[in-house]
Amino acid sequence: MTIEPSVKMASFGPSIFSDLKAYATAQKQKGNVLIDLSLGSPDLPPDDRIRTILADESRKPEAYGYTLEGTGQFYEAVANYYKRRSGVTLQPGTDIVQTMGSQEGLVHLPLAFCNPGDVVLTTNPAYVAYEAGITLAGAVPYYMPLRPENRFLPDLSLIPDAVAKKAKLMILNLPGNPVPAMPDDAFFEKVIAFAKKHQIIVLHDAAYSEFYFTGDRPFSFLAIPGAMDVGMEINSLSKSFSLAGARVAYIAGNAGMIAVLKQLKSNLDYGVFNPVQAAASFALDRAEEITGRLRAEFRARAAALSAGLQENGWPVERPEGGMFLWAKIPRGEDDRAFVFQAVDQSGVVMVPGSAFGTEGKGYVRIALVQPVPVLKQAADRLKKVIV
């Protein structure tokens, strides 16, 4: 029989990530020793206590039924976490919805609020899942450029009024992937005022909020007055608690918006495995004890790699948070050619910035997913790369 993909599948072609992985695998098969800094998957294991709870709960015969949604324990843990860490008051029963990882939540969320042809304000560069969600909803992206002259924050004043009037949703990610830019109160206050003026829903992706390198607590969009009126925040336990494979996350914020998402979710899945929810609840309840170790490690990694690259002539700044370096390549603008050349000549695997949008041309994203000594070795190896 003839198998024909849908018209929409034309928007989901092979990505640079697949090409890069295949190329790196071929190099490994030739005997080359690689330092893979491409995938943003935490290399540090979860806290021992989290693993113990997951194992113990998995042994219970009653653990294997459908959960249908988040447990009361999980929602209470999220609300308590926000109150302790960010001073934000959330009602567990109405202000939070659980998702099967933030990727799932991000891809499905535009379906809940956007009609075909609606405009979604998203950044350029941006995490690739945003584009997938916009495409599935049949919405139209409007790209807000992230440039060094504006501290890699979107300049809302550049959005034309005609675009703002059509916009239904704005997606932000700070500190982000691929750009680890840090916002401040003033920036989010502008976002809230803009959203209220144009009746736009704001979604802040806070996946890296616990990886802050200055200050004493994570920075939450919901902590800014007025944020709960216009938007939501999605957060995951993947990075902050090294639970990437467990696939558990949540969206918190405006109760009316959360109600719409709960309705959508009730038609999509039957909930997260109960032992994962129990382990996640424990992690959130002890965030102060658990995240400090991971944060200190990623702070040290960011400092070591940025210093090493600077010594080699790379125009890169030490980030204030996140788990990536966003680095301008030292020679030329062809970032795609550069990363393949880097694999050949140095064995260091990175992602070209243009994979995340046209504004990423000339940059690379480097994931801080190796210990400090290995990152120092990577910086030294990159001196060999000649394009």
* pLDDT score of 127 more than 80: yes
| pLDDT number for residue 386 | 67
Six-digit token string for 318: 């030490």
Six-digit token string for 205: 């992706």
Is residue 278 within 8 A of residue 46, CB to CB? The reply is no
Q: Which residue has the tokens 């002890």?
A: 286
Distance from C-alpha of 318 to C-alpha of 240, rounded to nearest angstrom: 20
Closest CA to 107 of 171, 178, 47, 45: 171
* pLDDT score of 387 more than 70: no
Is residue 206 within 8 A of residue 234, CB to CB? The reply is yes
Is residue 114 within 8 A of residue 261, CB to CB? The reply is no
End-to-end CA gap in the chain: 47
Distance from C-alpha of 178 to C-alpha of 132, rounded to nearest angstrom: 16
Residue 232 DSSP one-character state: E
Q: Would you place residue 13 in the very low, low, confident or very high pLDDT band (cuts 50, 70, 90)?
A: confident
* pLDDT score of 90 more than 90: yes
Max alpha carbon distance in the chain (Å)? 61
- Surface-to-core class of residue 235, CB atoms within 10 Å of its CB (0-12 exposed, 13-18 middle, 19+ buried): buried
Q: Would you place residue 232 in the very low, low, confident or very high pLDDT band (cuts 50, 70, 90)?
A: very high
* pLDDT score of 130 more than 90: yes
Range 86-102 average pLDDT:
97
Q: For the chain, list the domains and their CATH numbers.
A: 7-45+291-384 (3.90.1150.10), 63-288 (3.40.640.10)
List the strands of the sheet with 351-352, edge to edge. 324-328, 363-367, 351-352
